[in-house]
Structure formats: C-alpha cells, structure tokens
Structure 1
Amino acid sequence: MRVFAQMLEKLPEHVPVSDAMEAASPQEKDRWWSSQREHVVAWFRPQATRGSGAFVRLEPNLSAAKTYQRFSCAEGLISLAEAVGVDP
C-alpha cells in the first residue's frame, strides 16, 4: 500500500472533472485536504498499518481490493481515474 501511495503522489494534484465536482459540492465538515490526490494518498498510505484515531484496525489491511471498496468518495475515485488517463 505504501508503494501504491507513493505512486499516487506522482500523479497530477488537480484534475478538472474531480475538481469541478468538489467545487460544486464540497465536503462542508472536517475537510483537511487541499486536493483529492492528497485525500486518496492519505487514505491508502496507512492501510498497511494498524491505523490511528478513528481508523484503528486489529490487523493491517494489505488488500488493495478491500482498500478500494472501503474508500467511499466519488471525487477521490474519479480523481484517481482521471489522473491515470481513464477516458470518461
């Protein structure tokens, strides 16, 4: 997961479609990220650990499939797809 997070950090920080989605419907509470890339990287990076704060787990999550399924942020997923060049 850490290597994947490092790969994500190399993607463009801002991409037009997800930026427009977030501008049209911003998260109003507890938003700490400046871009969806930052949000996605911060989600994937600690998955291989036991987590912290509200996201503590008994065992590290080493499953990319589980991590992807648990990340329930449309803007983040669209940002990921858009940054790697998936054609809308």
Structure 2
Amino acid sequence: MSCVAFSHLLRFKRSHYPYSDRYLSEVNNSPDTHARTEKQHMVHWFADNATHGSGAYSRQKPNNSAKRCFNKLENAASLLWIAEAVGIEEPVVAAAFEAARQAGDYRRACGAIRKIITWSMIIESL
C-alpha cells in the first residue's frame, strides 16, 4: 500500500482513541509534537513521506511504502492511534500500550509496540 493511499484511509478515522490518548497523557515521550492530534499528525506524515519533504524531514528519495513508513515511525502514541483507528482488537492494543509504557524511551516503546502489532495486522484490520 502506498503512503498516500494509507494517509487517505486515515482521514476518515476519529481523532481520539482511548489508548493513544492515554499514552499521550501518561507518558508522552514523543520527540514530535507538531500536530494537534495523532490523526492530524499521521495523515500528514504518511502523505508527506511520498514527497521530498522539507526542513528536518527532507529526504533525497520519496518513500511510497506505507509499510516502510509504519516501521520507521518513532512515535508510540501514533502507532497506538493507527492500531486503534484500523480496529485492532482492544486486548492487543492494551498489551501494546503496557509494553510501550514499560519500555522506557520512545524508540524502545515503538519497538515494543511493533513486536505486538505488526504491519500485516494493520493491513488485515483495514
């Protein structure tokens, strides 16, 4: 799936979900706080990956793979939001939330989430 197609799908999801909102309020260790909501952040982030970007997010070659974008994402709240938005079952999201909360820094938190919620699960839930 392309980044632009995935971004388009995310546009029709709710702005707030329980676990991503809870992660933001309890942990909030993300290095990126440019958007007002995780939805806004992810819709723009996936769409922008298909371009050369700008500023700190410049890239020599656009990325058209939503899977690659998902696997490079370093924002635990965003990963949880995506999982909730596509309909991953609540016990799975809850387990990913706990793993992320206990992981420590944001990079380990993202890795902990992706060990529980894989890209193939995201695609299957769509």
TM-score (norm. length: structure 1) = 0.86
The RMSD of aligned alpha carbons is: 1.8
Counterpart pick for 2:43 among 41, 57, 66: 41
Structure 1's consecutive aligned runs of 4 or more residues displaced over 3 angstroms after TM superposition are 27-30
Matching residue's letter, 2:87: G
Match of 1:24 in 2: 26
Task: State the structure with bigger RCO (CA 8 A, min sep 6), 1 or 2.
Answer: 1
CA distance in 1, matches of 2:85, 2:25: 17
Match of 2:84 in 1: 82
Match of 2:68 in 1: 66
Contact 1:43–1:71 (Cα < 8 Å) also in 2: no
Aligned residues: 88
TM-score (norm. length: structure 2) = 0.63
**Identity, % of aligned positions:** 34
Q: Which runs of 5+ in 2 are unaligned?
A: 92-126
Larger fraction in helix: 2
Q: Which runs of 5+ in 1 are unaligned?
A: none
